[in-house]
Amino acid sequence: MAGLEDQSISVAGMTLRDVMSGTEPEESGDELLPGGQQPDSGDEWDTDLEVDDFRKRRLVVTATDLYLQACQIVGVIPATYYLRHLDQPTLNMNHHGLGPKGTKALAIALVSDINITDLELEDNGILAEGVGYLAEMMKENFYIQRMNLSYNNLQTDGAENVAKMLMEDTAIKVLKLSGNGFVDEASKYFADALATHFQVKSLDLSHNQFCENEHLGHMLASNESLETLNLSWNFLRMGGAVALCNGLKVNVTLKHLDLSHNGFGNEGAQAVGDALRHNNTLLSLDLSSNRITDQALRLLCHGLAVNDSLRVLRLLQNPITSGGTLLLLTTIRNNPKSGLEVLDISTLVVSEAFVELLESVRQDHPALEVHYQGVAGYFSRGRKLDPIQTLQKILAERTQSLADFFRKIDKDGSMRVHASDLKKAIQQEKIPLDCYSIEVLIQKLGADKAGMIDYSSQS
């Protein structure tokens, strides 16, 4: 750990623990008075009683006084933002340029702070040294539950200090460490800390440089607290991807896993499929931008064919053809226990056969929502009329406007309706649009990923 003077942070001759406990320091000739002045021969004090009174008053240190004294001792300019937000649960000091010394001064002030539960320190150039000060502070502070240390150039030494902080059994439940230049060597420290300390529920290690190592897999295999893990934008592939999935296979707590923007490919997809055959707690999985081809998707589907826990699967920006998407949907249909509710392939174009099969699948899986980019060959098969214009024409013949039609569906007056409600209304009103036209209609109306359509522009 980056060294702290005498293994403690001190203010005006008092250690961190002394300041907070009210312990009076030993007599010292270099004791600082208000304003940082040195005491002289005693002419400034009329009696010993007044000296004692000053010492007693000094021990009742306000948060403002403590921070200002700390800044003076450390030699940094106080951050007025902190002084203005002392009584709030969230302290957002992102992008304040604190550096290691500014972090040290802040750490001193936070030792006894019982108000702040969310500490945001992203992009402050904290470095490993600054994390060392925070780790020392967290030995005394049991109130901070969320900490963001992203983009602070922590590197491997910083990872070691973070691990030491976690081993103190702190109250931290959410920890963000994105973009800190962590390499495979750093992952060992996280694995060791989280193998036996189970307070962290959510961990963000995205935008780092993890590649091929077994430590992250060991972390998942042994940890019994993590519910959310973000490993997006790393270099996980081949052996690293397989090791991670081996840990996922036996993990019993993880619910949300983001692996987007890695390089899983065929080998990684097969490992994910194998993990899904055994894991029964994972609820959402993001495999976007992972070089997953139709062949890799086939390997992934071996797990989807039997999995009954996964609710959300994202496969955006992968080189999957319309044949691959059809295989994916067929796998879901053939698994009666599938709990999938959201399939996000919104960067892919599907076939008309996919749309037709989707209507059939929804009979057994009514909660399933599939987001895709469009339907291939729709206009080439003679369907040249715009489905919105078609719907408007049919409604006009019934002396009804498109806006009126939507308002009948909109139960809460929010000017937003769900795609499934629109489909039901079209069927109930016996509007002659086939399933392909309805799907294209939903796409053209701009349904978002949640399936919601904003019809305000149609008014």
Q: Set out the domains of the chain in order of their start, with CATH numbers.
A: 89-381 (3.80.10.10), 387-458 (1.10.238.10)
Q: In sequence order, what are the beta bridge partners of 349?
A: 374
Question: At how many degrees (to 10) do helices 352-364 and 322-333 cross?
Answer: 10
- CB neighbourhood size of 450 (10 A): 11
Taking a C-beta distance cutoff of 8 angstroms, is the pair 438, 387 a contact?
Answer: yes
171 and 145 Cβ atoms separated by less than 8 Å: yes
Kindly state the DSSP code that residue 207 receives in the 8-state scheme: S
**Which pLDDT score, from 0 to 100, does residue 412 have?**
82
- Predicted pLDDT of residue 377: 64
Taking only the tens of pLDDT, the chain with its 459 residues reads: 333 333 345 443 444 444 444 444 444 334 333 444 444 444 443 444 444 444 444 444 678 889 999 999 999 999 999 999 888 999 999 999 999 999 999 999 999 899 999 999 999 999 999 999 999 999 999 999 999 999 999 999 999 999 999 998 889 999 999 999 999 999 999 999 999 899 999 999 999 999 988 999 999 999 999 999 999 999 999 999 999 999 999 999 999 999 999 999 999 999 999 999 999 999 999 999 999 999 999 999 999 999 999 999 999 999 999 999 999 999 999 999 999 999 999 899 898 889 889 988 988 898 898 988 878 765 444 455 677 777 888 888 888 888 888 888 888 888 888 877 888 888 788 787 766 677 777 777 777 766 788 877 765
Handedness of CA 119, 124, 127, 133 (dihedral sign): negative
End-to-end CA distance of the chain: 63
Instruction: Please report the beta strands in 124-204, taking only residues with DSSP state E, as ranges in sequence order.
Output: 146-148, 174-176, 202-204
Report the relative pairing of strands 416-418 and 452-454 from DSSP bridges: antiparallel
Integer Cα distance of 155 and 152 in angstroms:
9
pTM for the whole structure:
0.78
Q: Are 94 and 123 in contact (CB under 8 A)?
A: yes
* pLDDT value of position 459: 58
Contact, 309 vs 281, CB < 8 A?
yes
Gap between the Cα atoms of 380 and 349, Å rounded: 15
Distance CA(337)–CA(8), nearest Å, equals: 57
The first and second tokens of residue 153, run together, are: 């150039």
- Nearest-CA neighbor of 161 among 206, 213, 100? 100
**Could you tell me the two tokens for 79?**
């951050």
Distance, CA of 39 to CA of 42 (rounded, Å)? 7
Give pLDDT, residue 337: 94
Let me know: does 394 contact 369? Beta carbons within 8 Å.
no
Are 126 and 93 within 8 A, CB to CB?
A: no
The β-bridge partners of 11 are 14
Q: Which residues of 112-121 are buried (b: 16+ CB within 10 A; e: fewer)?
A: bbeebbebbb
Q: Which pLDDT score, from 0 to 100, does residue 21 have?
A: 44
* 402: amino acid identity, one letter: L
- Three-state secondary structure call for residue 201: coil
- Distance CA(407)–CA(421), nearest Å, equals 12
Distance CA 319, CA 308 (A): 26
Distance, in Å, from the CA atom of 119 to the CA atom of 148, rounded to the nearest integer, reads 6
